[in-house]
């Protein structure tokens, strides 16, 4: 069953007075239960593509269907609801809210879905599985880059989304952290969760059923 279907996606950006295609005519079909990695050098368009697939930015042309719903043409409020319910997103870089503890950051998606009652234990379990259980009550500002990425993964997983989209999730992680991260991906994938990752990490590519290469906005 297809969970995510992108058809002829193109996104242009301006550089100086010229425009270029950061994502150029990309089509992609991801089935339930797949782990798909997108690799390619910095600047080739991976982040732009993931943002398009998650409905965070709009394409100049092309379509994105998530769980058979056309999200590229959806009104913002409707899209936000669908995205919260169906996608766990791990952005590139720092993404935790500085005003909340690590634990509350991880619980946030369930809180927003008004389903926060049992979230404390589940959040703690996820943080422990990622080797950062002892940081639950810390403030994000005191965490290292790798610890922040792991907390962001816990936040992406907590509402059991249909699809997790992760942008270079193991960057800034040491070998052990990356391993606990990838083990958790495997565990959730065994239960049927679908993953799309942009990565430079060969270990991440190894656990993927499919590795796609991107170059100058084009997906091979
Ligand atoms: N908002 C933006 N405005 C203009 N150019 C952008 C913007 N976002 C990304 N780019 C450019 O688009 C290209 C692809 O960027 P990106 O998708 O971040 O690549 P990657 O994630 O593979 O490093 C790069 O040349 C980048 O500089
Ligand atoms: Mg990127």
Instruction: Give the bridge partners for 195, in sequence order.
Output: 35, 164
Spatial neighbors of 75 by CB under 8 A, at least 6 apart, are none
Residue 77's CB is within 10 A of a number of other CB atoms, namely 8
Q: Would the pTM count as exceeding 0.75? A: yes
Please give the Cα distance from 47 to 107 (Å, whole number). 25
208 CB near ligand 1 (under 6 Å): no
Ligand that comes closest to the CA of residue 41 = 1
Side-chain half-sphere CA neighbours of 203 within 13 A: 17
Instruction: Give the bridge partners for 13, in sequence order.
Output: 20
What is the pLDDT, as a whole number, of residue 176?
86
142 CB near ligand 1 (under 6 Å): no
- Among candidates 220, 161, 147, which has minimal Cα distance to 196? 161
Q: Answer yes or no: are the C-beta atoms of 219 and 194 closer than 8 Å.
A: no
Per-residue pLDDT of the chain (220 residues; tens, 9 = 90+): 999 999 999 999 999 999 999 999 999 999 999 999 999 999 999 999 999 999 999 999 999 999 999 988 888 888 988 888 899 999 988 899 999 999 999 999 888 777 667 789 999 999 999 999 999 999 999 999 889 999 999 999 999 999 999 999 988 888 888 888 899 899 999 999 999 999 988 888 889 999 999 999 999 8
Domains and CATH numbers, the chain: 2-219 (3.40.50.300)
- Give the residue, by CA position, lying nearest to ligand 1 atom 1: 13
State the distance from the centre of ligand 1 to the C-alpha of 137, rounded, in angstroms: 35
The 8-class DSSP code of residue 168 comes to S
Please give the Cα distance from 115 to 210 (Å, whole number). 34
What is the pLDDT, as a whole number, of residue 116?
63
Q: What residues pack around ion ligand 2 (CB closer than 5 A)?
A: 46-47
- Among candidates 138, 14, 140, 9, which has minimal Cα distance to 72? 9
What is the pLDDT, as a whole number, of residue 28?
98
Q: Determine which helix (DSSP H) or strand (DSSP E) holds 28, and give its type and residue range.
A: strand 18-31
Q: Answer yes or no: are the C-beta atoms of 117 and 158 closer than 8 Å.
A: no
Q: Are strands 194-198 and 163-167 parallel, antiparallel or unpaired?
A: parallel
What is the pLDDT, as a whole number, of residue 73?
81
């Amino acid at each position: 069953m297809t969970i995510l279907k992108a058809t002829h996606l193109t996104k242009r950006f301006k550089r100086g007075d010229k425009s270029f295609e950061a994502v150029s005519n990309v089509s992609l079909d991801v089935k339930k239960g797949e782990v798909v990695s997108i690799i390619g050098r910095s600047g080739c368009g991976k982040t732009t593509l993931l943002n398009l697939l998650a409905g965070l930015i709009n394409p100049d042309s092309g379509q994105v269907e998530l769980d058979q719903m056309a999200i590229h043409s959806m009104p913002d409020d409707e899209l936000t609801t669908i995205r919260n319910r169906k996608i766990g997103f791990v952005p590139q870089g720092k993404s935790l809210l500085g005003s909340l503890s690590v634990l509350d950051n991880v619980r946030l998606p369930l809180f927003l879905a008004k389903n926060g009652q049992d979230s404390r234990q589940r959040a703690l379990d996820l943080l422990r599985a990622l080797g950062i259980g002892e940081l639950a009550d810390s403030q994000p500002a005191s965490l290292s880059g790798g610890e922040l990425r792991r907390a962001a993964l816990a936040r992406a997983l907590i509402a059991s989304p249909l699809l997790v989209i992760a942008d270079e999730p193991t960057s800034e992680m040491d070998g052990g952290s990356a391993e606990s991260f990838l083990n958790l991906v495997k565990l959730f994938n065994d239960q049927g969760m679908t993953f799309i990752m942009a990565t430079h990490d060969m270990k991440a590519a190894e656990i993927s059923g499919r590795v796609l290469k991107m170059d100058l906005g084009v997906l091979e």
